[in-house]
Amino acid sequence: MLIISFSLCIAVAFAGCTQAPVPGNTSPASPGTATISLTSLVLAPTDLPPGYALIESRAKNSGDVGQMAKDLGWQGGYVAMFANSATSDPNGTGITQSLAVYPEKSIPDITAMVNTQDRSDDILNYTNLSVTGTGTGGSGFYGKAPAGIVVKPTNQNPLSTGNGSHDVEVVYPRDIVEVIFAKGTVFEVIRITGPGADPALAESLARTAYGKIP
């Protein structure tokens, strides 16, 4: 059996990219805990290269984050997603800005967690980035995908009959670049996925986003 999938990961940890856009939603997910208006920190269309369109913008709720994030004091979040075409072509390039509010003491731990989790695709070859202009704790990485497609075994399809040991998955790996930074209680991740995953662009967007944090 052949299972074809696209390795499209324009959502970072805590993004929760399942609901329709909610422009103008300024409420944090946990009332009374996050006092910063995260929508005011979202990148504007003029901050991005020409050709990108906003395809999703919404507040996140507690169901969008894992237990470890909650244990570290997650107080609210927001996600904005942009694509280089209004149709959100899965073969194009996507930019995701993910924002969250944590107690300042938890920022180093959440940074380390995201930096580890978001490198989980073992198909990619990762390189650390030297990030500047985003505070003392800024970090980043570039994940280079191999050329062509990757065929790897997958779990047996429970809906198929017979021996599923020969099931394989054809993966179309995609480059990613991610910059992680924080200021005060605001934690952010800028992630670019696809053929336009440019480390210089990710760092530039991160510096712009960092400058919006009061």
The whole-number pLDDT of residue 104 equals: 95
Of the two residues 57 and 34, the one the predictor is more confident about is 57
Give me the mean pLDDT over the 62-90 stretch.
Answer: 85
Q: With 90 as the cut, is the pLDDT of residue 123 above it?
A: no
User: Which of 139 and 159 is assigned the larger pLDDT?
Assistant: 139
Q: Which residues contact 15 (CB under 8 A, 6 or more apart)?
A: 60, 64, 79, 81, 96, 98
Domain ranges for the chain: 2-212
Beta bridge partners of 58: 79
Most confident of 5-9, 120-124, 148-152, 160-164: 120-124
**How far apart, in whole angstroms, are the C-alpha atoms of residue 23 and residue 40?**
12
Check whether 1 has a pLDDT greater than 70.
no
Listed range (22-36, 48-62, 97-111, 153-167) with the worst mean pLDDT: 22-36
- For residue 35, is pLDDT > 80? no
For residue range 131-148, what is the model confidence (pLDDT) as tens digits?
999 988 899 999 998 876
Beta bridge partners of 76: 101
Q: What is the pLDDT of residue 173?
A: 75
Model pLDDT, residue 147: 77
Nearest 5°: phi and psi at 103? -60, 140
Q: State pTM to two decimals.
A: 0.75
What value does the mean pLDDT take over residues 160-180? 70
Q: Which helix (H) or strand (E) holds 110?
A: helix 107-117
Phi, psi of 66 (to 5 degrees): -80, 170
Nearest alpha-carbon partner for 101 in 43, 39, 42, 28: 28
Q: Which residue's structure tokens are 């942009």?
A: 82
Give the Cα-Cα-Cα angle 143, 134, 187 (nearest 5 degrees).
80
Give the span between the Cα atoms of 12 and 173, in whole angstroms.
16
Distance (Å, whole) CA 196 – CA 65: 27
- C-alpha distances out from residue 36 to 69, 78, 86, 111, 214, Å: 18, 11, 29, 19, 9
Question: Domain 2-212 classified CATH 3.40.1000?
Answer: yes
Calculate the average pLDDT of the chain.
79
The Cβ of residue 126 has, within 10 Å, a number of other Cβ atoms equal to: 15
- Decide if pLDDT at 158 tops 80: no
